[in-house]
Structure 1
Amino acid sequence: MKTLYAAVLAGGISACALSTAQAQAPAAETPAYKLYRATTTKINDLVHTKLDVRFDYKKRYMYGKEWVTLKPHMYPTDSLRLDAKGMDLKTIAIVKNGKTTPLTFTYDSLTVAIKLDRTYTNAESYTVYIDYTAKPNELKVKGSAAINDAKGLYFVNPDGTEKDKPTQIWTQGETEASSAWFPTIDKPNQKTTEEISMTVPKQYVTLSNGRLALQKINKDGTRTDTWKQELPHSPYLFMMAVGDFKIYKDKWRNKEVSYYLEPKYAPYAKDIFGFTPEVMEFYSKTLGVDYPWYKYSQIVVRDYVSGAMENTSATLHGVYVQGTKRELADRYYDGGRSTIVHELFHQWFGDYVTAESWSNLTVNESFADFSESIWAEYKYGKDAGDAHSLEAMQNYLGQPDAKKKDLVRFHYNDKEDVFDVVTYQKGGRILYMLRNYLGNAAFYKGLNIYLKTNAFKNGEAQQLRLAMEEASGRDLNWFFNQWYYGAGHPVLNISYKWDDATKTQTVYLQQTQDGNGFTLPMAIDIYAGGKKTRHSVWMRTKADTLTFLVPSKPDLVNVDGDKILLTKKTDSKTLDEYAFQYFNAPLFLDRYEAIDFAKTRQNEKGAQKIIIAALQDKYYGLRVKAIAAANLTSYDDVRNAAVPILVKLAQTDENNLVRAAAITALGKLKASGNMSLFKQSLTSQSYAIQGAAMNAIGMINPTEAVALAKTYQNDSEGALKQAVLGVYATNGTDAEWPYYYDAFKNGDPNAQFQMIRKAAEYAGRVKSPEYAQQAITTIGELGVKYKQFGVAPTVIQLLTSIKDARTKLGDTASAAAADKAIAALN
């Protein structure tokens, strides 16, 4: 599962608010939190699940027949309990010699307790037949910040009444929502083979796990597709999808790789997903375990409830991953590609070996997060991998209450709470750190041992530790105890003293976090006399003093020379030392730290030297960072040196995001002499460059920007569309409101929350009360829908601002509408 981070309400809730809100409230005092979350006891084991399903689009029902084969796990039993959420259970029977004998059962709408016909031992299996109706739209279940709904089976536009939206059906099983569309033991420590027959209108295509074994045309205008998954996997990884999709066939070695897209995006299938076989090859070789499933398919669906889901051999993505050639040209790695590799890595870590309980979700999601960085490193270079890993660490450090949570978590309020920045980003960074400590060879050998030992079974963090110890020959209890079974991270202060008389360099290390100290192996690189000397040290206490004999005063003492520690760090280097670090230390984070330090000291020559040099850094992400950092308005020296470089970057840089950032920086100068550059940039094929140019023109001549926006609004996506909307939000009139409001009302949650503040400002000044009330209604509905994630106070603030503005305009009807919307949020 890749969560889709939603929404920024500047000054209201944090940037990852909707997807990480639950990470902010451990609520350890609640009774639910105090419960020990044991791995589910196995009484019966799933063996095989056979389904025959049909769909009622009008009622939003699924009519199912199931033959589920099981056997007792260890002890003899005469009973069976299945998860079955919100269903009509018509018949439950034992199947013997092709004949069914009804069984007695009791059902509480969530689970069904079945009395078997006799006592079975673990040396024998039995098959139960169930005739049922699934009613997902009538099911009242709780989702999470990561997965905002949990009804399992979704009908998208089933009546065909929603304009420009296709009719689709798809499923979402994680965590335990598969049992909303078929009875099962809906726990991750179960594994079963699978056969699903779907009867659908013959114009639609289907997708499920495994291979398409049979297609049969029926006399009533339907077709029945039978999919078989002949290797065992967990129930939450079952999937179905039905709709008007175009299929692009690719391959990896001798296995089918396919991409399912709406017809509009079918021409771009190779652009979106075409690197998938290369990733499969990289992961197979890196792990020493070839991609294990029959085929690999990826499908993009509408109205998906999260980011993406790693269903076995059939990953499901939300629409944000797709795009045209022009859109994709601006996205680079983090514009959907990181999600594609994340879900693919799950085919090993999550599907091939599955977390035995949600407490151990780290062995699924931390690995998938880690995989994003190693693919970036392999494909785009070490700077790209380190940049991605740093972003993950910053996401974790940016959630203050995340430090209270263990990575392996045996206490939580709800299993959905485990899908957070601790399991994903912190866990991924921990693996990045462990790889550095053990070395690539030992680390990947350990992963190979873990995968092969637990193939088609379940795993937990202790099995990962044992595999790593077997591979490396090192004890790793200390590492797992502090990083997997403990919470938090070191808060590290670093200071220095040079004694010229004794030629001694002293380094003072102090961990200032509450609680115990962390054991930290690290490299300390000392640059002196034109060479670098590396010292490998261990910090085993909360405070440590290290001394090194050095022939001359060091130019730089670089603590954590590999820039790998998961830590919040305060380093007392001087500006001269940071300048030396930028130009001499080799890693992305060495340069990143120097830019970060220099950006607030641009009145000093050393800082200016760093910023100006970084404008042409070898890694595009640092060029973008330096462009954003350069203070062109306060310091003449910076502006005079930077502007010629920015003009060149805006015209010729190989990276669209760098060119766009340079245009944005030049635009803030509001210099009319740059207008020709901005207008020329509007002819670019890059939406990012066009969008930056549109915004820059708006800063110089708002009226001209509105006129230009009208000429581009019907051929705009991505950053250009955001720029058009931004120009309208700032300078538009009632004439531009319908276009703006349509984008706001019909945007996905991320887009809506990015627009919500400007939408409120725009609604406050339009002349039409009808337009103002459109915004009030939509903003109020958003507040109600996402109230559980803490957005209400900010939404109320925005509604109040609209009310005040409309009152000044004498629009009492809109002011009353705002009051009504506010009341619904209180």
Structure 2
Amino acid sequence: MKYNKLVIFCFVLMSFLSEAQSKVYQSEREKIHDLVHTKLNVDFNFENKTMNGEAWITAKPHFYSTNTITLDAKAMLIHEVSMNNSALKYTYEDGLNLSISLPKTYQRNEEFTIYIKYTAQPEKVYQKGSAAITSAKGLYFINADGSEKNKPTQIWTQGETEASSCWFPTIDAPNQKTSQEIFITVPDKFVTLSNGALISQTKKGNNRTDYWKFDQKHAPYLFFMGIGEYEIIKDSYKNISVNYYVEKEFAPYAKDIFGLTPEMMGFFSDKLGVEYPWNKYSQIVGRDYVSGAMENTTAVMHGEQAYQKPGQLIDENVQENTIAHELFHHWFGNLVTAESWSNLTLNESFANYSEYLWREYKYGKVNAEMHLFEDVDAYLNGQSKEKELVRYNYEDKEDMFDLVSYNKGGAILHMLRIYLGDEAFFLGLKQYLNTYKFQAAEVDQLRLIFENLTGKDLNWFFNQWYFGAGHPNIEISYDYNTLRKTVTVNVVQLQNEIFKFPFAIDVFEGSKRTRHSVFVDAKDASFTFPYTKQPNLIQVNADGSLVCEINENKVLSDYIFQLKNADNYAHRREAFLIVAKKQDDKEAFNAVVQALDDKSYKIRVLALQQIDLINKFSKKDVIQKIMNMANNDVKTLVQAEAINTLGKLTDPELKPIFEKGLQSKSYSVLGKSLVSLYYVDKPAAIAKSKQLPDEVRKILATPLTRIFIEENDESELPFIAKSVLSGMFLTGDDTTKVLFQKAFKQISESNNSKAIQNLVDDMIEKGKQFKGFNFDKVVINLMRDMIKEQQKVNKSNRDRNIEIIKTAMARLL
């Protein structure tokens, strides 16, 4: 499972809504029975949003003999339960647990098959979602009646954590493994996708039955069905089919979006020493999906944010990390599964770290460092810092899907890799996968694999990073002995719990850098190093691997040197943010100018955003440099930011740069060029904005909204209203939030009923999508504010507008 930026917003929102967490011990699900095989035959009632199902559940006692079995079956109508055509007695009073009396007492390893005829009612399921998975009804009908003109009719399932039991009876626990076969009957116009291989298709009248079969065993939460009108774009890895299921509009771009998948499969197979273990790999995009993506075995589901046009992909494929993440789950999570949600780190932390591994391989060390920094930074600035990575005590299993299980867990794997070395780390992963394939595992089993392989005791590492909470908060100071030519680095841990950790320290003597690797195992530790000449800089946590917070006293000259010479992206970024505040100092300004050439494109973007071009030290050659970046930087996102920086000068002589940007294939360059042109030639920018195709206008909603708001263009308010709320969610940056506030106020005060209708429709959609996190209440309060604004003025449409808003509130409530 991979969350998206909408979900990160919910992580933050939930931290304000609920600070306390109950400490309830959550055990692994007791294994009374083992699932063996699951056979399903299903068809759908689109009008009622229900599914007619037949299930043949094959199971056996795990150890002790039994004469009853209890299956998870949520909010179903149970029509028949039988074995060999003989009815079985059952109870189903709570609508959650189907308890069945077996015809005899079965012994260990004695298999039996139960037949159940039922109706799944997903709209009657009431269970909480999480910040990563915002709904938990298992089976989703999208635009089932076809009433929404611009939205296709689709059906898809979402099983994690325990929602597969909303659409078929099962033992819905991650420590269960079962093979499966599914017969799916749908109108013939629809394509279907499920786990495993499509064995046959049988047409009868206007309907068709697709038979999907999956012989290998996996956890019930990984079962999947996807149904809709899709184009299937075919690809391959070795002799394995790799297919992309997309709507017709995006079929020409499917390989641009997903086409690195076969290369990823080869890279991960080689890196792990374990070949991709399944018989196919398909990816499908669903509308109104409740998360970022989901690793259903051989049938990965992506949310519609995966859909991108060439003008977006040339900037950055925002789904690439997610594609790697879900693929890596096919080893960590699907092949070997966490035996309980407490051990979720065995699934999600590995998938998170795969994003680093992929970027390191494909784009190099600097690119991977940028990704790791952002993950760790999100964790450090989140609200989950005092939670353990392995948590046997939590209020709800959904609480496990947070920045600790994902971001911190991935960073911990990186620390373990650095400590053990690449050979031991990846060989350990290979042994873990081969030892526990098609089984469930817990974290201690991973530890024992590494200990047996390396001969090292790793209890100290796992106890503090996996079973403990927090991270080191370190204070650093330096003592120089100029007579002996030594420097002592003093490390003091400020937090209560004392951590042990390897620590990399770089000593810079001019251009010469010496790396010292030390081990901290006390609250106070000191390390002395010789030098030839007075060091220019001491860089602690030099490899950036330790998850920690560091406090040290440095002067401006230290940061300038660090910006120019530090090896790790995080350290150069840290230095830049300090130096950029001191641009009234000539050396600092020159360092910011030099940062325009940094090997990290994100530092180049920061430098463009923060460079002070009206500074007394600024010269024409700096402007010329930025003009060259606008035209020639290898990264279009840097080109776009260079144009944005030049636009702040509002210099008509720069107009040719902006006009050239309007011809760019990059939507980021086009958007920044439009805004910059607006400040030097408003008529030309407005004319270009209105000439853009609707699909481009939708993608460029944020820059266009900025222009239309400043222009106070009443005719564009419906467009603004349709896009501004989604824009705020998808970017989440402060500039966009300010823009949302302006747009919200302008629309609320307007007499434009269409704009108000568009806005409240979008608010209803977001409110329902995140209702489990009380965002619906936030939306209700926003709507009340809109009514107050309407009541302040006496306009012709006031009463109609108020009625639109009240109707929307009623729909949401």
Aligned to 1:539: 520
Query: Distance between the aligned counterparts of 1:759 and 1:165, measured in 2?
Result: 26
TM-score, normalised with respect to structure 2: 0.94
From the superposition, tell whether residues 655 and 527 of structure 1 become closer, same or farther in structure 2 (CA, over 3 Å). Answer: same
Compared CA separation, residues 808 and 159, structure 1 to 2 (3 A): closer
Distance 1:573 1:793, change over 3 A: farther
Shift of 1:732: 3.5
Q: Distance in 1 between matches of 2:209 and 2:800?
A: 53
Q: Which residue of 1 aligns with 2:570?
A: 589
Q: Which moved more, 1:572-581 or 1:808-817?
A: 808-817
Which of the numbers 488, 512, 515 marks the counterpart of 1:506?
A: 488
Which amino acid is the alignment partner of residue 499 of structure 2? F
- Counterpart CA distance in 2 for 1:396 and 1:745 is 25
Q: Which residue of 150, 175, 180 maps to 1:194?
A: 180
Match of 1:12 in 2: none
Q: Tell me, in whole angstroms, the C-alpha distance in 1 between the residues paired with 2:157 and 2:805.
A: 39
Aligned to 2:274: 289
Structure 2 Cα separation of the partners of residues 282 and 60 of structure 1: 42
CA contact (8 A) 2:59 2:113 kept: yes
Residue 602 of structure 1 pairs with residue 568 of structure 2: no
Structure 1 residues 816 and 210: CA distance shift in structure 2, 3 A:
closer
How many residues get paired? 806
Q: 1:395 to 1:107 in 2, by over 3 A?
A: same
Instruction: Find the aligned partners of 2:771 and 2:160 in 1 and give their Cα distance.
Output: 23
Residue 18 of structure 1 aligns with which residue?
10
| 3-state SS of paired residue (1:81) | strand
Which amino acid counterpart does residue 304 of structure 2 have in structure 1? V
AA in 1 matched with 2:521? R
* Structure 1 position 431, deviation (Å): 0.7
1:455-505: CA deviations, max 9, x gaps?
000111111111122232211111111110011111122222323233221
Of 81, 96, 100, the match for 1:92 = 81
* Equivalence for 1:306: 291
Equivalent position amino acid for 2:370 in 1: A
Instruction: Name the CA shift for 1:798/1:171 in 2 (closer, same or farther; >3 Å).
Output: closer
**CA-CA distance at 1:625 after TM superposition:** 2.0
Q: What is the identity, as a one-letter code, of the residue corresponding to 1:705?
A: A
On the 8 A contact 1:443/1:472 being kept in 2, the answer is no
In 1, the alpha carbon distance for the partners of 2:664 and 2:745 equals 31
In the aligned structure 2, how far is the partner of 1:535 from the partner of 1:751? Answer: 40
Cα-Cα RMSD: 2.6
SS of 2:612's equivalent in the other structure is coil
Amino acid at match of 1:658: V
Query: 2:435 pairs with 453, 457, 469, which one?
Result: 453
Aligned to 2:703: 723
Q: Structure 1: how far apart are the matches of 2:98 and 2:747?
A: 52
Instruction: Determine the structure 2 residue equivalent to 1:272.
Output: 257
Does structure 1 retain, via aligned residues, the 8 Å contact 2:348–2:405?
yes
In 1, distance between residues paired with 2:780 and 2:145?
A: 35
1:690 aligns with 2:674: no
Cα separation, 1, equivalents of 2:749 and 2:632: 40
Matched, 1:50 2:39: yes
What letter is aligned with 2:3? Answer: T
Is the counterpart of residue 393 in structure 1 residue 376 in structure 2?
Answer: yes
Residue 625 of structure 2 aligns with which residue? 645
Counterpart in 1 of 2:715? 735
| Change in CA separation of 1:306 and 1:688 when aligned onto 2, cut-off 3 Å | same
Q: Residue 2 of structure 1 corresponds to which residue in structure 2? A: 2
Equivalent residue letter for 2:472: P
Give the aligned partner of residue 30 of structure 2. Answer: 41
Among 728, 751, 773, the alignment partner of 1:789 is: 773
Q: Distance in 2 between matches of 1:580 and 1:443?
A: 34
- Of stretches 526-535 and 37-46 in structure 1, the one that deviates more from structure 2 is 526-535
Q: List aligned pairs for 1:614-653, cutoff 5 A.
A: 614-633=595-614, 635-638=615-618, 640=620, 642-653=622-633
Structure 1 residues 23 and 460, CA gap change in structure 2 (3 angstroms) = farther
CA contact (8 A) 1:213 1:228 kept: yes
Q: Which of 39, 55, 61 in structure 1 is aligned with 2:50?
A: 61
CA pair 119-270 structure 1, distance change in 2 beyond 3 A: same
Matched, 1:521 2:529: no
Partner of 1:599, secondary structure, is helix
Distance 1:288 1:570 in 2: 41
Any stretches of 5+ residues in structure 1 without a counterpart? 8-15
CA shift, 1:652, in A, is 1.2
Residue 344 (structure 2) aligned to one of 361, 371, 378? 361
Deviations 1:317-354 (A, max 9, x none): 0111122222211224xx11000000000000000001
1:431 to 407, 413, 435: 413
The corresponding residue for 1:761 is 745
Deviations 1:433-465 (A, max 9, x none): 111111111110111111111100011111111
Match of 1:575 among 551, 556, 576: 556
Which deviates further from its counterpart, 309-318 or 530-539?
A: 530-539
Contact 2:287–2:304 (8 Å) recurs in 1: yes
Partner SS state of residue 692, structure 1: helix
Quick check: 1:776–1:817 contact (8 Å CA) kept in 2?
Answer: no
Deviation at 1:176, TM superposition (A): 0.5
Alpha-carbon distance between aligned partners in 1 of 2:48 and 2:676, rounded to the nearest angstrom:
51
Q: Secondary structure in 2 aligned to 1:279?
A: helix
**Residue of 68, 78, 92 corresponding to 1:79:** 68
Q: 1:530 to 1:756 in 2, by over 3 A?
A: closer
Change (3 A) 1:622 1:246: same
How big is the shift at 1:532?
2.6
CA gap 1:459/1:318 in 2 versus in 1, 3 angstroms: same
| Cα distance in 2, alignment partners of residues 792 and 344 from structure 1 | 33
Q: Which of 240, 244, 263 is equivalent to 2:248?
A: 263
Q: Give the alignment's TM-score, normalised by structure 1.
A: 0.92
Question: Residues of 1 paired with 2:192 and 2:759: CA distance?
Answer: 39
Q: Structure 2 CA distance, aligned partners of 1:202 and 1:607? A: 67
Distance 1:207 1:44 in 2: 29
Tell me which residue corresponds to 1:441. 423
Deviates more, 1:381-390 or 1:666-675: 666-675
For residue 546 of structure 2, the aligned residue among 565, 569, 589 is: 565
Q: Among all aligned residue pairs of Structure 1 and Structure 2, give the percentage whose two residues are the same amino acid.
A: 43
Going from structure 1 to structure 2, the CA distance change for 1:575 and 1:718 (only over 3 Å counts) comes to farther
Q: How does 1:121-140 map to 2 (within 5 A)?
A: 121-140=107-126
Aligned equivalents of 2:726, 2:501: Cα separation in 1: 49
Is the contact between residue 51 and residue 195 of structure 1 (CA under 8 Å) also seen in structure 2?
yes
What residue number does 1:11 align with? none
Label 1:713 to 1:798 Cα distance change in 2 as closer, same or farther (>3 A): farther
- The reply to whether residue 108 of structure 1 matches residue 94 of structure 2 is yes
One-letter amino acid of the counterpart of residue 759, structure 1: A
| Cα distance in 2, alignment partners of residues 727 and 147 from structure 1 | 35
Bigger mean CA offset, 352-361 vs 786-795: 786-795
| Equivalence for 1:337 | 320
Contact 1:212–1:225 (8 Å) recurs in 2: yes
Pairwise CA distance, 1:585: 3.2
After superposition, what is the alpha-carbon deviation per residue over 1:566-599, rounded to whole angstroms, capped at 9, x for unaligned?
A: 0122232333233333333333233223212211
Q: 2:766 touches 2:776 (CA, 8 Å); kept in 1?
A: no
- The reply on whether 1:247 has 2:232 as its aligned counterpart is yes
Q: For each residue in 1:598-653, what CA deviation from the matched residue of structure 2 results, as whole angstroms up to 9, or x when unmatched?
A: 111112233223211110122222211221231234x2324655322111100111
Are the aligned partners of 1:23 and 1:420 in contact in 2 as well (CA < 8 Å)?
no
Mapped partners of 2:725, 2:581: distance in 1:
40
**Given the alignment, which residue of 170, 178, 185 partners 2:171?**
185
Cα distance, 1:722 vs structure 2: 2.5
Assess if the C-alpha contact under 8 Å between 2:720 and 2:755 holds in 1: no
Specify the SS of the correspondent of 1:403.
coil
Secondary structure in 2 aligned to 1:58?
A: coil
Tell which deviates more after alignment, 729-738 or 86-95. 729-738
Conserved in 2, the CA contact under 8 Å of 1:78 and 1:115? yes
Q: Whole-Å Cα distance in 2 between the matches of residues 415 and 318 of structure 1?
A: 23
Shift of 1:822: 12
